[in-house]
Amino acid sequence: MSGRIIADRYELSTLIGQGGMGQVWTGYDQRLDRRVAVKLLRPDRVAGAEAEELRRRFVRECRVTAQVDHPGLVTVHDAGTEGDELYLVMQFVDGADLGDHLAEHTPYPWEWAVSVAAQLCAVLSAVHAVPIVHRDLKPRNIMVRQDGTISVLDLGVASVMDSDTTRLTHTGSPIGSPAYMAPEQAMGGAVGPYTDLYALGIVLYELLSGTVPFDGATVLGVLHRHLYEAPLPLGRLRTGLPDGLEPLVMRLLAKEPQDRPGSAQEVYQALTPLLPARGVPRGTPLDPARPFLRPHAPWPDHPLAPAPRPGRPPAAPGGGEGADVATAVDDVKRLLGEGRITQAVDILGAILPTAARQHGEHSAVVRTLRKQYAATLLDDGQYRRALPELRRLADEYAAEAGTADPRSLQFRYEAAQCLEQLGEPGAALAEYRALLPYFENQYVSTDRDLPLEVRRRIGHLLLALGDRPAAQDTLLRLLHDAEQRYGPAHPLPAEVRRTLHWLGLV
């Protein structure tokens, strides 16, 4: 189904999830050239004769949930129907779902667990104020972003499926996730904010112990345990938890809603003394404690660190070891011709490892692909990702043909532009100054315009660094040479005169 277009706009790319009710795909918004996540639901598999009513309720519910404005909720971009399916187009989240995050960090630090729970409380408090009940809170519906913040998925979807007419599928299974289902939800009773708080307790219990409190071989067996069994005390599964944490989890897991905390805000207040105090985070991605250690701080912590790649890169056309590199290149050319740069970048990034295995890391094919990848990243404004690619290409050409090789110099020049765009004026200035003698040497470069452009950039970087005397000297000399080459009416000398006038020198 890869390549299928939904609503004449959203192109499906990679299947990342599948269940009884539908599928989740990465995709591209062709109109705005951005990554999105697309959920496809099959109401006929859930509601049978009630499918048409479910479609209407789905669209209506999506309109309501789209009005909830909170940074911890994944943004809903679009929703509607496509043939027999319902589609939901959401913001693409770069991170890991909480289930994978837990699996990769066992035992899960209790500070992280508390931080995740507190962020979830903030989201649930905003959602319950609408009022909306999530109904399907679980690790697979919770994303940990690269900066440690939490995003909740699928708000409103479960509420559509969990109506009187759709509570059971045609096989008799309940809609939802049994391991995280509150007793009242399992019995088909009224749900409310207290239902989400029970699910929050299950999630917190799982993070702290590594397992859900109630599991079993059958759905009915799991639901029976929710209704009648007490969870095993956390202290028997893990030591070293702070005082007050286990009692809070046990309150969240109370069988009767009235015995649970009164609101998500109340749970947050109970968690507050356990949250990390402000300090210096470890600087690693996917750290849920970071938003409390360093609130509202920019990410990444180190500006020049390459931006983390998406956790699940899109598959190249054809996929796998046998992916057709030539087909991928043709697709890239087509996408670039259509202005869909973001999608072209992803295809190039995905096909590079396959091309390296097929043709060799240092083959001409791979180098051509890497050059196209770097150029496309640059065109897409992804300067942080383009920078290491450009530096690598520059170093390779310099090693093969010397530091004055025109190809190496061009890649260094583009890398300097990346540094300039990334707000590193000192590093960019040093690189431009190192390049200028090569560009002024007619035996190395035949482009007579490029040295003047580099000098213009040097002058403006000197201004950015506060060195006005050096900027004045550079720009005055540039003005003289630019007027000699282009004449006084040309845009370049005109711009330099305006800058000098601003400095009060002309």
Catalytic site includes residue 136: yes
> Closest by alpha carbon to 366, among 351, 382, 387, 380?
351
255 labeled part of a ligand binding site: no
User: What is the rounded radius of gyration, in angstroms, for the C-alpha atoms of the chain?
Assistant: 28
Beta bridge partners of 81: 86
In contact, 187 and 195? CB cutoff 8 Å: no
Q: Hey, what are 320's tokens?
A: 């796998």
> What span, in angstroms and rounded, lies between the C-alpha atoms of 203 and 364?
50
Chain centre distance of CA 360? 31
> What span, in angstroms and rounded, lies between the C-alpha atoms of 54 and 169?
13
Amino acid at 396: E
Could you tell me whether strands 76-82 and 22-29 are parallel, antiparallel, or unpaired per DSSP bridges? unpaired
Tell me which residue has tokens 């809903």: 76
Q: Hey, what are 173's tokens?
A: 């299974």
Beta bridge partners of 40: 23, 87
User: Cα-flanking dihedrals φ and ψ of residue 433, to 5°?
Assistant: -65, -35
The 10 Å Cβ neighbour count of residue 61 is: 21
> Closest by alpha carbon to 416, among 404, 425, 428?
428
DSSP structural state of residue 405: -
> What span, in angstroms and rounded, lies between the C-alpha atoms of 34 and 25?
14
Residues found in the chain: 506
| Cα 129–Cα 130–Cα 132 angle in degrees, nearest 5 | 100
Out of 136, 162, 331, 346, the active site residue is 136
| Cα 19–Cα 25–Cα 30 angle in degrees, nearest 5 | 155
User: Cα-flanking dihedrals φ and ψ of residue 89, to 5°?
Assistant: -105, 125
Q: Hey, what are 296's tokens?
A: 């509202």
- Give alpha helix (H) positions in 40-148: 44-47, 51-65, 98-104, 110-128
Which three-class secondary structure state does DSSP give residue 406? Answer: helix
The 3 state secondary structure assigned to 217-248 is CCHHHHHHHHHHCCCCCHHHCCCCCCCCHHHH
The binding site for ATP consists of 39
Q: Which residues are catalytic?
A: 136
The binding site consists of 39
